[in-house]
Chains A and B, each alone.
Chain A
Amino acid sequence: MADTTRDITTLPMSRPRGILVAKRGSLAWLGVVPFFLYTTLFLLLPALWLTTDAFRSPTGGYTFSFIQKLFQSQYENAFFTSIRISLVTALVGGIFGLFVAYAALREDVPRWVRPLLTTYSGVAANFAGVPLAFAFVATLGGAGLVTQFLARFGLDIYARGFSLYTFTGLTITYVYFQLPLMILIIIPSLEGIKREWREAATNLGATHTQFWRHIGLPILFPSLLGAMVLLFGNAFSAYATPYALTSGSVNLVPILIGNVTSGEVVADPNLGDALALGTIVIISISVVIYALLQRRSDKWLRR
């Protein structure tokens, strides 16, 4: 068929001439200099530095001993626990965050709910570290407000095996900032699901579930995956929160790195570098998995 739209837009006269179209002698590249300077100084160079240090012997020369140490049970266990808590809190925060965001965007929800939710999420997602730990101690700690309140009704959660200072307690604390972070990230993607798609699917006979299975979720999939990877990294790198809360009773990679580099117990900066390198590897693997999964789904996105 004669395609008028295309014909007109491909005329050379109407081609857009944005300032970003690089021309010979253009100074447009100057705009990205700060970005590359920043990533080089604060991301690439440190990574390179700690990578070489992880293989450097304090007595001179190179060694694999620090990397080998990572496979000792204490360190291996720390990686395992860190991955576990990151996965669990990314999934719990991610899934519940998705549902909360979805519920808030429904058409029958009053308009004031959304700004309230995003403002709260903005605050809660950044409420971490020592203040968050103390907030949880004050509510769910042994003498915490909620603990005492429940005890008054005969439910002594600590007697039933709960403790804030364990993996479970830490998971609950992490979800406090993971869930709102998910809400913040996923709202724009959910808004991208057009009403017309839902109505067209309904019109063609689809139920609500069928719409989400065939259209909604496939479209959301890349953003969901990206959000989960971000949540995973966010949990993996948390330091102050678990430190203040458990003072080391839960074995996590960032806490170990803190221990060996601050030197209060055993100063071993090279081991710290090796642990950090391990972290980089784990995060890189999750990004690669993300990229591979994403590539399978985004055929329809490619321009």
Chain B
Amino acid sequence: MPGLKLQGLHKQFGEVVALRTLDLAVESGEFVSLLGPSGCGKTTALRIVAGFEHADEGRILVGDKDITDVPANRRDMGMVFQSYSLFPNMTAQQNVEFGLRIRKQRSAERARRASELLDLVGLASATGRYPHQLSGGQQQRVALARALAIEPSVLLLDEPLSALDAKVRVQLREEIRRIQTQLGITALYVTHDQEEALSVSDRVVVLSHGQIEQVGTPAEIYGEPQTVFVAAFIGTMNRIEATVRADPSGAVESAGHRLPVHAARNWTSGLHVLMLLRPEVIDLRPLQGDTSAGGEAMTGNVKSHTFLGPVTRVQVSTPIGDLMVDVPSVEALSVSIGARVSLTWDPASPRLIELPAGAENVVGPAAIIAEDELQPA
């Protein structure tokens, strides 16, 4: 299986820049996701690779072959669309056979290959059904089988799960990953759903305004966001604007409070930074009466609870702003709204990102960006 290279892809629609010199190399057999909010250029990139759009500048290579000027119908790329892409006048089997029919394969051979693929996607019993007789999830399985039937060099998936129910979505994404691994096919997957991208990919490419913000494994993207955008876009993140303190054990200062951060030891003091802290790394303890926690802890009052199943997300109002804390749901029962609590964290946990000069008002004293605020509607 060949790999895929995008070199300096640039695309503009009138005044709007959709892609800004994008460079990306997908290794052979690798599963790479393009992740970002709507309008970030991820779909444009995929459509350029498929040949439906043409880049103003840049090249596309499959293996060593430059396919930039190859028309879409000769690129041999399998594509799975968002939804409703099955030909309604053909049965599941005929849909899967279509690419082979165009390639003038013998009908016996076509039928054998189609049933093999429908079997692979778990739809062996639905061969004779028309698309309208299939559920959304089943239709996408057929679409996957159809894309794989032509033995494509690269598999392209354009938000293939976004029109499906939550439960089917999770099930199908795991299956797409299983089949991709089994066939060892190079895959490029476009999604706005971070959970989806993080759960199935070898590597995730976070895009914003047509530019790559960060490329990395799901663990790197989640654990070590390199830019303010990635930090805000991936998961829920407490973002605290602070200044690096001259402190041998590592600390920053926010609203007059000292906050322990090991990472600060490597930073120049006085530097304006954003401290990033995941809700799950903060430790919450109820305090008796109106006492101060003392030491390194931050004190605050519980403002609200959001039950998320195994954990409950607690919003705590503190002197450095509101902080989100994930507490195991069984323990959350003991912290009622208004209760006084102390918050501590392992100083090794927070990450720092340098804030550009003059960015004071971009983020408040302690801005919290919940994930749904950043998800496109």
Contacts and interface: CB of A to CB of B under 8 A. Distances in A.
A3 B167 CA distance: 10
A3 B134 CA distance: 10
A218 B87 CA distance: 10
Contacts of A2: 171
Contacts of A145: none
A219 B130 CA distance: 13
Interface of B: 50-52, 72-79, 81-91, 98-99, 101-103, 122-123, 130-132, 135-138, 141, 143, 146-147, 150, 165, 167-168, 171
Given A3-B137, A199-B50, A303-B132, 15 more contacts: A4-B167, A5-B165, A6-B135, A194-B84, A196-B84, A197-B88, A199-B52, A199-B81, A203-B77, A203-B78, A205-B76, A205-B99, A205-B103, A206-B73, A218-B89
A5 B171 CA distance: 13
A210 B102 contact: yes
Interface in A151-209: 194, 196-197, 199-207
A138 interface: no
A4 B168 contact: yes
Interface residues of A, number: 28
A200 B167 contact: no
B87 A215 contact: yes
Interface of A: 1-6, 8, 194, 196-197, 199-207, 210, 214-215, 218-219, 299-301, 303
B123 A1 contact: yes
Contacts of A197: 85, 87-88
B210 to A, nearest CB: 22
A51 B180 CA distance: 69
Contacts of B79: 199-200, 203
A205 B90 contact: no
B51 to A, nearest CB: 8
A204 B137 contact: no
A118 B193 CA distance: 40
Contacts of A210: 102
A154 B77 CA distance: 59
A2 B138 CA distance: 10
Contacts of B138: 1, 3
A14 to B, nearest CB: 13
Contact of B72 (A1, A4, A203, A301): A203
B88 A300 contact: yes
Given A205-B74, A218-B89, A219-B89, A300 B135 contact: no
Contacts of A199: 50, 52, 72, 79, 81, 85
Contacts of B77: 203
7 contacts: A3-B135, A3-B138, A5-B136, A194-B84, A197-B88, A214-B98, A300-B91
A205 B73 contact: yes
A129 to B, nearest CB: 40
A205 B123 contact: no
Nearest to B121: A1
Contacts of A3: 135, 137-138
Contacts of A204: 73, 98-99, 102, 146-147, 150
B103 A300 contact: no
Given A1-B122, A5-B168, A196-B85, A300 B132 contact: yes
* Of listed B51, B87, B91, residue having the most chain A CB within 10 A: B87
A201 B135 contact: no
A205 B102 contact: yes
B162 to A, nearest CB: 13
A202 B88 CA distance: 16
A236 B343 CA distance: 86
A205 B150 contact: yes
B130 A300 contact: yes
Given A5-B137, A200-B81, A219-B89, A206 B130 contact: no
Nearest to A200: B85
Nearest to A215: B87
